[in-house]
Amino acid sequence: MLKFKSQTAALISDAVAAAFPAAALQTEEINAMLEYPPDASMGDLALPCFKLSRTLRSSPVKIADTLAESLSSPLFSEVSAVNGYLNFRMNGAAFASRVLADIGADGDLYGSPKCGEGKTVVLDYSSPNVAKPFHIGHLGTTVIGHSLKLLHEFAGYKCIGINHLGDWGTQFGKLIVAYRLWGSKDEVEAGEIDALVALYVRFHAEAEKDASLNDRARAEFAKLEAHDEENIALWRWFVEISLREYKKTYAQLAIEFDSYNGESFYTDKMPAQIARIREKNLLTIDDGASVVNLEEWNMPPCLILKRDGSTLYPTRDIAAAVYRKENYDFAKCIYVTSAGQSLHFAQWFKVLELMGDEWAKDLVHVPYGTVSINGEKLATRTGNVVLLKDLFAQAIEKARAITEEKNPALKGREDIAEAVGVGAIVFHYLSNNRMRDINFVLEDALSFEGNTGPYAQYTYARSCSILEKANGEASFDVAPESTNEDELALTKVLALFPERVAAAIEEYEPSIITRYALDLCAAFNRFYHNCQILSAEDPKVRAYRLALVKAANQVLGRALSLICMKKPEKI
């Protein structure tokens, strides 16, 4: 629709210049004013002339009437003026030919804004805390972050995916104490991350009764920071066990990272940045701690060093950002974390700016809402979590049972069950605007009915089946003589894909693609049920409808891939 809008805007601009010579409007200005009517019966595109009234010194009704009389083009089957709106109804056959030609010409790149050539984007996402379970609370940063990476890659950017592991901090002192008091090597090797989590949970339960355990934990972490060999060896072991577990989940999501450099990687890179902050005379002492005063920007002080001289998250994040700029020279560095960390990012972004790093403007925090389970807050230390591996296993088992019931002869059932089961969870999460708080109800996430991931995957598989039966006959090189309502409706949704991709990238909002996929599925399934395709008697009609199926298959497949979904060709 982008081309149709821009061509319509150009025609309106010429008509305005002819009818109202005292006022000229640029095509870009008019393009921004064009709207899609809420009801298709009103037309395919509309210009609310209220927005032109002051510039053209005339009433909206008169403007609409005047322009409607002078506008004509093969693009339109009808141009009408209704109560100050200029409504356009497209020539269906001409429009369909153009859309299918564009999809055929662009191939797999149809819909790409192609704005990232020669630019690098760094994306920091997922980033679980080592020795803690990969649970439903991590799903947001993981799938939102990876979808944004896929979207930027589709736009032509070189993307660097970084898993900034939480692999440093007092929690390791707690784990070391717990392991020495209640653990054993054999038990941890057998239980892996579940055994580490059990030790962590037990530590907090015991510390409620014996507060001295917290002092012991701080002492053990201090030894870790001082590179005590025994503690370093335990820490590396905990990290190795955790990564083995995390990578199993990443494999199910088809996610790979370019870097697993976590917080520990930047410990030797912080002193240089602290020195720079001092050189800029930004540090002040507040109750013994070293801070950057941000009162002028309506923010609390940003803590750089604790009273004992140890560093904090902002110190590590500043060092990490500088390292990434020096090594990747990014156009954007995107951080996908919960909305609860918004102040933290605003603070250290501002500190970098005050340090004189003009590229601080290229740092982007992408927040998302909280996740609760049946209304209760997630908490590893109390065990109130739903592990992603358990959630995925339940969804896969449900998909397996349905597949075996409906299609017992299907080859590759195990891979398909995993694609559908995991896809159901991912699609359920990415159906929501990222800022919306989610109360995760297991039954809803595992539902395969209605507007769900399995429905979208099944629609894709249906299009694959039709094309397989057509045996390579489908081609975009068609010129339909006419279009019916269902054909045109599908074509219009296909034409919207480039706009939806551009909006998803601009707004850092994968749910725009998820909702688009559902719109495309709905339009395709109406078309499928109401129009004969392979059995169409007229060869030209058959060719046109097969072209629509091929286009829907290509675009829906791309949309699903942009939201971390696998695309089984048979279900």
Residue 175 lies in a domain: no
Number of domains in the chain: 2
Residue 534 lies in a domain: yes
**What φ, ψ does residue 342 adopt, rounded to 5°?**
-60, -45
Using DSSP bridges, classify how beta strands 289-292 and 302-305 pair: parallel, antiparallel or unpaired. Answer: antiparallel
- Higher pLDDT: 20 or 276? It is 276
Q: What CATH number is attached to the domain comprising 407?
A: 1.10.730.10
Query: Is the pLDDT confidence value at 512 over 60?
Result: yes
Residue 416 lies in a domain: yes
Enumerate residues 6+ apart whose C-beta is below 8 A from 436.
369
pLDDT tens for 328-381 read 999 999 999 999 999 999 999 999 999 999 999 999 999 999 877 666 665 555
Residue 126 lies in a domain: no
pTM of the model: 0.90
Cα–Cα distance for residue pair 465/406, rounded to 1 Å: 16
Residue 456 lies in a domain: yes
Q: How confident is the model at residue 439 (pLDDT cuts 50, 70, 90)?
A: confident
Domain boundaries, position 44: 2-90
Residue with tokens 């199993």: 248
Cα–Cα distance for residue pair 227/326, rounded to 1 Å: 27
Model pLDDT, residue 481: 87
End-to-end CA distance of the chain: 32
Residue 404 lies in a domain: yes
Domain end point (choices 71, 90, 109): 90
Model pLDDT, residue 404: 86
Q: What CATH number is attached to the domain comprising 78?
A: 3.30.1360.70
Residue 86 lies in a domain: yes
Domain end point (choices 52, 69, 90): 90
Query: Which residues carry out catalysis?
Result: 132, 135, 138
Model pLDDT, residue 482: 87
Residue 201 lies in a domain: no
Domain end point (choices 56, 74, 90): 90
Query: Is the pLDDT confidence value at 384 over 60?
Result: no
